[in-house]
Amino acid sequence: MRLKDENKQEAIFQATIQLLNEIGFSDISMSKIAKRAKVSASTIYVYFENKEDMLSKLYTNVKQKLSQKVLAGIKDSMPVKVAFEQILRNQIEFIFSHKEEFLFLEQFSNSPLVKNLCLEDPSWMFQPLFDLVERGREQKLLKECDTMLLLVLTTAPVTNLAKMHFNGEYELNEININELIKMSWDAIKS
């Protein structure tokens, strides 16, 4: 039995992300991934049972990277508004420094393939974010409504403007980012 090499697994993940962003889910194959990752097709099966297993693990891997970046520097002792603003800045930083992963998540989450895969629920990775919203409600700083409504009101504008930025339809600069964060806070504050 061959030993697993984390560098090869990461190369396979990166090759898959690049190919999915270039050609989409319908045209991707293990042989194309192997060629892009510069490994043999049989090497992929050392790490993954099949394409579905690989895509599920890739999704979890990228979500883990996103959650770590989004929650970086967030502490329970921070004021809710400060933590909220930092989370949005962290999200924007992740999107711009991990464009390929961001585009993969967007494509993946909108694909019918998602329903066919047995995906791990990634919400546990974002538990501190849910805790922050709860703390904000307890302190009467945030609107009393469903947590997901509050989170969508803040994260959806960021992802939509980032996609527009990458398509050349909008310039997401520091001035716009500051205004976006202010408007997002205004949308959820009580």
Superfamily of domain 1-47: Homeodomain-like (1.10.10.60)
Residue 78 in tokens: 């921070």
Q: What does each C-alpha distance from 4 to 8, 20, 37, 47, 62 come to in angstroms? A: 8, 24, 15, 7, 19
Task: Specify the pTM.
Answer: 0.89
* Range name among 1-15, 38-52, 134-148 with the lowest pLDDT average: 1-15
Pick the more confident residue, 112 or 23.
23
Q: Quote the CA–CA distance of 54 and 113 in Å, as a whole number.
A: 13
* Range name among 46-55, 89-98, 165-174 with the lowest pLDDT average: 46-55
Domain ranges of the chain: 1-47, 52-188
Nearest alpha-carbon partner for 35 in 27, 26, 47, 43: 43
Contact 170, 164 (CB under 8 A): yes
Q: Quote the CA–CA distance of 41 and 36 in Å, as a whole number.
A: 11
Q: What architecture is the 52-188 domain classified under in CATH?
A: Orthogonal Bundle (1.10)
> According to the model, what pLDDT value does residue 123 have?
82
pLDDT band at 7 (very low <50, low <70, confident <90, very high): confident
pLDDT digits (tens, 9 = 90+) for 38-65: 999 888 998 899 888 898 899 989 999 9
